[in-house]
Chains A and B, each alone.
Chain A
Amino acid sequence: MTHHHPHENENLSTGNDNTYSRRLFMQQGMVFLSMATTVPTFLQKSAHGIMLPVGSLVSSQAGVPDDRVTVVIQLAGGNDGLNTVVPYGSRDYYNHRSQLAIGAPGSSRSNAGSALSIPGADGIGLHPNLTGLRELIDNGQAAIMQGIGYPNPNRSHFTSTDIWHTGNRSAQGYGWLGKYFDNTCAGKPNPKGSIAIGPKAPLALHGKTQKAVNFETEELFKWAGKDSDDSLATTYDDINRRDSMQGVSKNSQLDFLVRTSLDAQVSSDKIRKAVQVQPLVKYPDGKLAQQLQMIAAMIRAELPTRVYYASLGGFDTHANQLNSHANLMRQVGDSLNAFQKDISTQGNGGKVLTMMFSEFGRRVAQNGSVGTDHGTAAPMFLIGDMVKPGLLGTHPSLTKLDEGDLIYNTDFRQVYATVLNDWMGADDKAILGKSYTKADVLK
């Protein structure tokens, strides 16, 4: 090839004929890609304007918009549901938790504070630090579902987490959201998929073909070698930003790796660019707020990612839980509040549904260390303009217990089925392996 490209000098190129296509990818890099096998094809097709409409890849149901986003938040460790959504109208609550029970709204008798009332709810309130969540309820943007669980509950963090992530009581198999992506694309991976904030992609996002992108902070989603020696940058980019190499046959192992490398670079550029933008609202401090701020920024940048995953740890409150749990509640309420305001200010209020859960609730009775041990049923939260706001369902009985634990009244897979079918437009039965009665939580 003897032509001289006038713009070669401004580029990372070593002057081979990939220059043009590489430039095209970087300029037009309009698609965020998490799955490498199909990357260049998709990119090339989109560059030539012959890509299928996005909706046909994402939704299996007619009429479901293709720009909907689902955000999942896990409160890891087993959140104390009874001190989150507080049954202050129950005498049993105070009998079981002499040092931990939160008082009725306005009362001053408990050193655990007094609950916030929930409009329209009787005898049930919120943890005093959940003011941010209470405001979302007032704005008609938050739903609380009570008594969520599953049959024959498992009290191991790992197993119960796996049960929630797979949607399978055996805790085996692929993740429910991974299966969603496997399913919506008729066996072909959705190359946009999901992003998890954290050191490792959670099981929920693993499908047979679907692999999630994950990173703890955007600064870790890149090669760090340039930080230690910036003279390496040009050569690194030259090596890792090629869509193909001469003499390497298509879809060979090396071809696959070359394309994944390019995909990683393009994704990294887009994500890092997206999250460097100043947010529209002020976020509080703390790890959850940090994660949600990044997610809001990526949504605002219109990455085609459909599922985001965040998590906050510290909920395994076996001892002296009053302060630690109160701090967590403050973080949760305020972070959700800031995130939702950000989303609304962006004009994305109708596009983003947030779902928050924990792998289990905690024992009804406090233990000997002024904490609580692993329990069973607990509330779940859905946030967004599309939810039926307020307190939904019924609170599990505090009188009729199963060996000291709450008995669930709604299977979490009913909520999954609702989100999958009514929100994401997917075949919930194919994904969950069974048809569940929908939970009445979306408008």
Chain B
Amino acid sequence: MQSSTLKKLDKSKFDEWKAQHLLNRAGFGGTERQISLLTKMGLDKAVEYIVEYARVKDPSPVRAEDFDNDIMRPRTKSEGQMIKKARQDGDEATLETLRQERQRRQRADRKQISEMEEWWLKRLIETPRPLEEKLTLFWHGHFATGYRTIENSFHMYQQNAFFRTNAMGNFKEDLVRGIVHDPAMIQYLNNHQNRKEAPNENLARELMELFTLGEGNGYTEDDIKEGARTLTGYTFEDDAFAFRTRQHDEGVKTIFGRRGQFDGDDFVDLIFTRPSVSTFVIWKLYRFFINDLPHGPTPDATKYVGQLASVFKRSNWKIKNVMKAMLLSEHFYDEENVRSIIKSPIQLIVQAMRTVNPPDRKKLLRTLSLASNLMGQKLFAPPSVKGWDGGRAWISTSTMFMRQNTLLFLLTGQKPDGYAWNADASKYDAISLLGGRTKSPKQAVRYLLTNVLCNPNIQKEREDALLDYLKTQHNVLDNRTVTGLLTLITAMPEYQLS
């Protein structure tokens, strides 16, 4: 029986399976030991430990100094004059030098974004605050901005740091207000070109359609036009937000039937008076954390989202209140919702790294970033402002093989791009995953199904298939056969589910 209300889970029901589910969804899975620690904490403490992650020390805090903010800096005045003069004089040699200098900077910047990709992937894998990174990834998909368009890695870094700082913050005041002041987003949605005399509607439209209200939910085309006027002059200078009064339209605007000399910040306030603002983002959180609903909203989900939306509204848009209520609710742990989400490529990779503990292979992070891209998710490069579609859109026959082969790489060193000469033969100490205790083939299989597949209730035919494999190997449990079991388990259709 599905529970559709925010009713809290009965404390006595919070067992290892529930703790494992909590860790998979609020983070990226974990080891047997981590799950047993959470189980011992009990429901309330476990949820508090995960949600109040700021109390956990971050061993490698994010530092802006780690990245170069100068690569794509704007031209200085004297450089600008130099170009102007060279153009006037037809001075090809100078123009050529400047052109080459720009190309050099672009190359350096592409290198930096690629390093950032690895840096974030490493954080995702290593963080002691999984929910912080998981929410950062959620916001990256929600307020999607792509490097390819803005070609400024430092702005992407700043946005990433902004999402992390405000991951559990106030949706209205921190996140939405912040994003209309964010240089990367401003450039991505052309708001730096949004001027009084030539308005650009891109940011105003997506602010309502994709970030807060949902398409067609309580606004009109006129509201977009007028909203765009409020955002005129919202631009950036170098790495910071800038408001240009001369480009800002001071006139009276009419939005949602209300008239005033609104600016962009007033526009944000007005949006949050619309009824659909509370449910839109809750649905997105629901699909990300609870169930990706391949057949659309169910009545139970709709009822639950309605209740969570009231919590959201009553709290004045605090994400933390929503996350706490969600992770404590019976509905979140409902059988129907367990293993109901198709893992994103990042979830697949990070969860594998955190649960099977493979050796640190040659160019591990580079290979995994590439693999994630080939599976359809490149960090800092969502396919459009809509972010990643998620759910079944992750899966095609091609990405299915890519997923299986990426896991194979972690376990055996065989590269997912097929270049065998590039393989890394570092041996995986698979046997230690069994926890050092002697196990019968059956125990070993059950153990791996529980801890790696997170699905001890799997069909008997699956368990039999694995036992049959061991039988052909004379029931020997060693590094080779346990690795074999793991490659088979991670190649199961079931493994794609979280």
- The CA-CA distance from A224 to B487 in the complex, in Å, is 10
Cβ–Cβ < 8 Å partners of B396 in chain A: 34-36, 201, 211-213, 260
| B339 in contact (CB, < 8 A) | yes
With beta carbons under 8 angstroms apart, the residue of B383, B385, B497 that contacts A254 is: B497
Q: Which residue of A lies closest to B459 (CB)?
A: A245
- The CA-CA distance from A37 to B469 in the complex, in Å, is 30
| A56 in contact (CB, < 8 A) | no
CB distance from A208 to the nearest CB of B (A): 9
- The CA-CA distance from A49 to B464 in the complex, in Å, is 35
The count of residues in chain A whose C-beta lies closer than 8 Å to any C-beta of chain B is 60
- The CA-CA distance from A221 to B397 in the complex, in Å, is 9
| B57 in contact (CB, < 8 A) | no
Q: By the criterion CB–CB under 8 Å, are B384 and A172 in contact?
A: yes
- Interface mask (B104-130 → A, CB under 8 Å = 1, otherwise 0): 000000000000000000000000000
Cβ–Cβ < 8 Å partners of B412 in chain A: 225, 228
Residues 231-276 of A at the B interface (beta carbon under 8 Å): 231-232, 234-236, 238-240, 245-248, 251, 253-254, 256-258, 260-261, 263-264, 267-268
- The CA-CA distance from A247 to B455 in the complex, in Å, is 15
Q: By the criterion CB–CB under 8 Å, are A264 and B497 in contact?
A: no
Whether A240 touches B491, Cβ cut-off 8 Å, given contacts A235-B468, A247-B459, is yes
Whether A251 touches B295, Cβ cut-off 8 Å, given contacts A228-B412, A245-B459, A260-B395, is yes
| B473 in contact (CB, < 8 A) | yes
Whether A231 touches B473, Cβ cut-off 8 Å, given contacts A225-B404, A257-B496, is yes
Cβ–Cβ < 8 Å partners of A159 in chain B: 149
The count of residues in chain B whose C-beta lies closer than 8 Å to any C-beta of chain A is 58
Q: By the criterion CB–CB under 8 Å, are A223 and B405 in contact?
A: yes
Q: By the criterion CB–CB under 8 Å, are B491 and A225 in contact?
A: yes
Q: Which residue of B lies closest to A247 (CB)?
A: B459
CB distance from B424 to the nearest CB of A (A): 12
- The CA-CA distance from A369 to B339 in the complex, in Å, is 57
Q: By the criterion CB–CB under 8 Å, are B408 and A253 in contact?
A: no
CB distance from A152 to the nearest CB of B (A): 14
Q: Which residue of A lies closest to B103 (CB)?
A: A318
- The CA-CA distance from A217 to B420 in the complex, in Å, is 14
CB distance from A8 to the nearest CB of B (A): 14
Q: By the criterion CB–CB under 8 Å, are A267 and B491 in contact?
A: no
Cβ–Cβ < 8 Å partners of A234 in chain B: 469, 472
State which of B92-100, B308-316, B325-333 sits at the interface with chain A. Answer: B92-100
| B60 in contact (CB, < 8 A) | no
Cβ–Cβ < 8 Å partners of B416 in chain A: 224
Q: By the criterion CB–CB under 8 Å, are A236 and B397 in contact?
A: no
Whether A36 touches B488, Cβ cut-off 8 Å, given contacts A225-B404, A245-B459, is no
| B401 in contact (CB, < 8 A) | yes
CB distance from B167 to the nearest CB of A (A): 27
With beta carbons under 8 angstroms apart, the residue of A34, A219, A239, A256 that contacts B418 is: A219
Q: By the criterion CB–CB under 8 Å, are A260 and B488 in contact?
A: no
CB distance from B411 to the nearest CB of A (A): 9
- The CA-CA distance from A253 to B462 in the complex, in Å, is 17
Q: By the criterion CB–CB under 8 Å, are A199 and B465 in contact?
A: no
Q: By the criterion CB–CB under 8 Å, are B395 and A158 in contact?
A: no
CB distance from A50 to the nearest CB of B (A): 25
CB distance from B82 to the nearest CB of A (A): 16
- Interface mask (A147-173 → B, CB under 8 Å = 1, otherwise 0): 000000000001100000000000010
Q: Which residue of B lies closest to A258 (CB)?
A: B493
Q: By the criterion CB–CB under 8 Å, are B373 and A200 in contact?
A: yes
- The CA-CA distance from A34 to B400 in the complex, in Å, is 12
Cβ–Cβ < 8 Å partners of B395 in chain A: 36, 256-257, 260
CB distance from A195 to the nearest CB of B (A): 9
Cβ–Cβ < 8 Å partners of B96 in chain A: 367-369
Q: Which residue of A lies closest to B146 (CB)?
A: A158
Q: By the criterion CB–CB under 8 Å, are A221 and B401 in contact?
A: yes
- The CA-CA distance from A443 to B396 in the complex, in Å, is 37
| B252 in contact (CB, < 8 A) | no
Cβ–Cβ < 8 Å partners of A200 in chain B: 373-374
- The CA-CA distance from A240 to B451 in the complex, in Å, is 21
| B45 in contact (CB, < 8 A) | no
CB distance from A172 to the nearest CB of B (A): 6
Residues 217-258 of B at the A interface (beta carbon under 8 Å): none
| B492 in contact (CB, < 8 A) | yes
- Interface mask (B333-359 → A, CB under 8 Å = 1, otherwise 0): 000000111100000000000000000
Residues 480-498 of B at the A interface (beta carbon under 8 Å): 480, 484, 487-488, 491-494, 496-497
| A227 in contact (CB, < 8 A) | yes
- The CA-CA distance from A229 to B491 in the complex, in Å, is 14
Whether A213 touches B398, Cβ cut-off 8 Å, given contacts A172-B384, A223-B408, A254-B493, is yes
| A214 in contact (CB, < 8 A) | yes
Cβ–Cβ < 8 Å partners of A158 in chain B: 148-149
Residues 126-152 of B at the A interface (beta carbon under 8 Å): 148-149
With beta carbons under 8 angstroms apart, the residue of B294, B374, B404 that contacts A223 is: B404
Cβ–Cβ < 8 Å partners of A214 in chain B: 398
- The CA-CA distance from A215 to B398 in the complex, in Å, is 7
| B417 in contact (CB, < 8 A) | yes
Q: By the criterion CB–CB under 8 Å, are A16 and B487 in contact?
A: no
Cβ–Cβ < 8 Å partners of B496 in chain A: 257
Most chain B beta carbons < 10 A, residue from A37, A219, A227, A235: A235
CB distance from B370 to the nearest CB of A (A): 9
| A45 in contact (CB, < 8 A) | no
Cβ–Cβ < 8 Å partners of A367 in chain B: 96, 99
| B466 in contact (CB, < 8 A) | yes
- The CA-CA distance from A261 to B496 in the complex, in Å, is 11
| A14 in contact (CB, < 8 A) | yes
| B461 in contact (CB, < 8 A) | yes
- Interface mask (B368-390 → A, CB under 8 Å = 1, otherwise 0): 00000110000000011100000
Q: By the criterion CB–CB under 8 Å, are A201 and B398 in contact?
A: yes
| B414 in contact (CB, < 8 A) | yes
- The CA-CA distance from A158 to B393 in the complex, in Å, is 22
| A220 in contact (CB, < 8 A) | yes
Cβ–Cβ < 8 Å partners of B493 in chain A: 239-240, 254, 257-258, 260-261
- The CA-CA distance from A261 to B417 in the complex, in Å, is 20
CB distance from A273 to the nearest CB of B (A): 16
Q: By the criterion CB–CB under 8 Å, are A14 and B468 in contact?
A: yes
| B13 in contact (CB, < 8 A) | no
| B392 in contact (CB, < 8 A) | yes
Cβ–Cβ < 8 Å partners of B93 in chain A: 368
Q: By the criterion CB–CB under 8 Å, are B397 and A34 in contact?
A: yes
- The CA-CA distance from A215 to B374 in the complex, in Å, is 10
Cβ–Cβ < 8 Å partners of B408 in chain A: 223-225, 228
CB distance from A192 to the nearest CB of B (A): 12
Whether A223 touches B491, Cβ cut-off 8 Å, given contacts A257-B395, A264-B400, is yes
Q: By the criterion CB–CB under 8 Å, are B418 and A245 in contact?
A: no
Cβ–Cβ < 8 Å partners of B491 in chain A: 223, 225, 236, 239-240
Q: Which residue of A lies closest to B487 (CB)?
A: A225
| A429 in contact (CB, < 8 A) | no
- Interface mask (B286-312 → A, CB under 8 Å = 1, otherwise 0): 000000101100000000000000000
- Interface mask (B133-177 → A, CB under 8 Å = 1, otherwise 0): 000000000000000110000000000000000000000000000
* A and B contact pairs by CB, cutoff 8 A, 23 listed: A36-B395, A37-B392, A158-B148, A215-B401, A217-B418, A220-B401, A220-B418, A221-B398, A225-B408, A228-B408, A231-B472, A232-B488, A238-B465, A238-B468, A246-B461, A247-B459, A253-B497, A257-B395, A260-B397, A260-B400, A264-B397, A264-B398, A264-B400
Which B residues have a C-beta under 8 Å from some C-beta of A? 92-93, 95-96, 99-100, 103, 148-149, 292, 294-295, 339-342, 373-374, 383-385, 392-393, 395-398, 400-401, 404-405, 408, 412, 414, 416-418, 420, 459, 461-462, 464-466, 468-469, 472-473, 480, 484, 487-488, 491-494, 496-497
Q: A217-B418, A221-B401, A224-B414 are in contact. List 4 more A-B contacts (CB 8 A).
A: A229-B484, A229-B487, A239-B465, A248-B459
The 8 closest A-B pairs by CB, nearest first: A368-B96, A257-B493, A264-B397, A235-B469, A211-B396, A220-B418, A158-B148, A264-B400
